[in-house]
Copies of this chain bind each other. A is one copy, B any other.
Amino acid sequence: VSSGAVPLIERKKNGGELAPDEIRALLAGYLDKSIPDYQVAAWLMAVCWRGMTEGETLAMTQAMVDTGATLEWADLDRPTVDKHSTGGVGDKTSLVLVPLMAEAGAAFVKMSGRGLGHTGGTLDKLESIAGFRTELGLEEMGAQVRRIGCALVGQSPALVPADGALYSLRDVTATVDSVPLIASSIMSKKLAGGAGTIVLDVKWGSGAFMTTPEAARELAGALVRIGDGAGRRTRAVLSSMREPLGRAVGNALEVREALDTLNGSGPADLWALTLELGTHLMLLSGLASSADDAVRTLTALRDSGAAARRMEMLVEAQGGDPRVVARPDLLPAAPVVRTVAADADGWVAEAEARGIAEAALQLGAGRLRKGDPVDPAVGVVVLARVGDRLAPGAPLAEVHARTEAAAEAAEARLRAAFRLSPEAVAAPGEPYETVG
């Protein structure tokens, strides 16, 4: 059997195309171990080299989906929507968007992962709510969605088991950064989730996986082509991840900011991105007839408190204390809070997402290795945004730390992430770009 893989590796290596059945055979052979991992590794590197055609990428995605269970929502009377972010710093959008869209009439199961390295994970954030359970069985999850329209859960291991297996090989063979492999990994989980409408938040910048808009655009195109090819209404939104999204970086701090946003306050950029993603979900799923209509509806659902009430239902359904939604001060808090002040005046030219994330990681908000625990209370609140004019001594950020020593170390890292300019710097405010 293993010699059967050689011509397929060879063809990809020479820039040729594999048929859907051949891709399926490679994946099946990898999973049942009839094709040894060294052949799969060679093929993965050849894919990094030569890429995959649109047809191969779609076939790969569907083959991955077919390795596990898929969710079926045909009996629902509401449109199913889903969202994925390619990962950034301070990205707590799902915590706002999921209850908001459920309140707007959608069914929204958001499956998320844990943080690793400089990017946080939605599951870690949610678990800073005492008692909150993110591991629901498929049945319990389905029942919850049918009752309250939404769920915020961990990626089910029953869906796309090939993805974890393949990723663990890519991780140790330097074959992670291939657009078709990334796209098929992301989209296989979206397709298996069964939503009819999928919106992808593809981030670029120092705090994102893709550092340039060009790379983000390429990935966005691949994601949308897969979704369209699989018959889902799919759109991608490109958003900048040069400075963190919102102000909070760290688990409980981010939950608090998301709840503030549901409660009608919270930072403008977080609400703007939530509205942007929500508008596309509304339009594509038929819940709104125009972008204006969508924005009006979503804003009203926030302003009326209906979205916050929906979040209470979700927290309660998943074992958490629903009072936290109205009283974010119930969330765990760090014993040491220290303000980092600017030592000169000027305009904020840079508030570098990656550096800020690494300060939060060092404080204990993230993990360097899978399985490590995270500290829910610690993190960073960014107080100076690009374009702000600061007087000397004005606050750059707040450090929330477990100890004074940890706060001190984080302060040094944070200072290095900020750059002040003696000349005026405009706030970024690029319009969102959409693909699909």
Binding site for B on A (CB under 8 A): 2-3, 5-7, 9-10, 13, 36-42, 44-46, 48-49, 169, 171-175
**A-B contact list, 22 entries, CB within 8 Å:** A5-B172, A6-B172, A9-B45, A9-B174, A13-B175, A36-B38, A36-B172, A37-B37, A37-B38, A38-B40, A39-B172, A39-B173, A41-B41, A41-B42, A41-B173, A42-B44, A42-B173, A42-B174, A45-B45, A45-B49, A46-B49, A49-B49
Bound state CA distance, A7 and B176, in angstroms?
A: 12
A13–B174 contact, CB under 8 A? yes
User: Nearest chain-B residue to A170 (Cβ)?
Assistant: B42
Interface of chain A, helix or strand or loop or mixed?
helix
Contact partners of A13 in chain B: CB under 8 A: 45, 48, 174-175
Report A304 CB to chain B, min CB distance, Å.
51
User: Which residues of B are found within 8 Å of A38, using beta-carbon distances?
Assistant: 36-38, 40-41, 169, 172-173
- Nearest chain B CB to A282 CB, angstrom units: 41
A171 to B44, CA, bound (A): 17
A10 touches B46 (CB 8 A): no
Q: How far is the CA of A6 from the CA of B169 in the complex (A)?
A: 11
Cross-interface CB contact of A175 among B3, B42, B44, cutoff 8 Å: B42
Task: Give chain B nearest CB distance to A8 CB in angstroms.
Answer: 8
Q: How far is the CB of A14 from chain B (nearest CB, A)?
A: 9
A65 to chain B, nearest CB (A): 24
Q: Which residues of B contact A6 (CB under 8 A)?
A: 171-174
A7–B174 CA distance with the chains assembled, in angstroms: 7
Pick the contact of A42 from B2, B10, B36, B45 — CB < 8 Å?
Answer: B45
Closest chain B residue, CB of each to CB of A48: B13
CB of A175 to closest CB in B, whole Å: 6
Complex CA gap A171/B10 in Å reads 11
Contacting pair A173 B9 (CB below 8 A): yes
Interchain CA distance A36-B48 in the complex, whole Å: 20
Closest 5 CB pairs of A and B: A45-B45, A42-B173, A38-B41, A9-B174, A10-B174
A209 CB → nearest B CB, Å:
15
Closest Cβ of chain B: how far from A269's Cβ, in Å?
33
Chain B CB within 10 Å — which of A9, A38, A171 has the most? A38
- Give the docked Cα–Cα distance between A46 and B2 (Å): 21
Most chain B beta carbons < 10 A, residue from A6, A7, A45: A45
Nearest chain B CB to A424's CB is how many angstroms away? 38
Which of A48, A171, A173 gathers the greatest number of chain B CB atoms within 10 Å?
A173
Q: With both chains docked as a complex, state the minimum distance between the C-beta of A34 and any C-beta of chain B, in angstroms.
A: 13
Give complex CA distance A175, B39 in Å: 10
Find the B residue at minimum CB distance from A6: B174
Q: A175 to chain B: which residues have CB within 8 Å?
A: 13, 42
Q: How far is the CA of A44 from the CA of B42 in the complex (A)?
A: 8
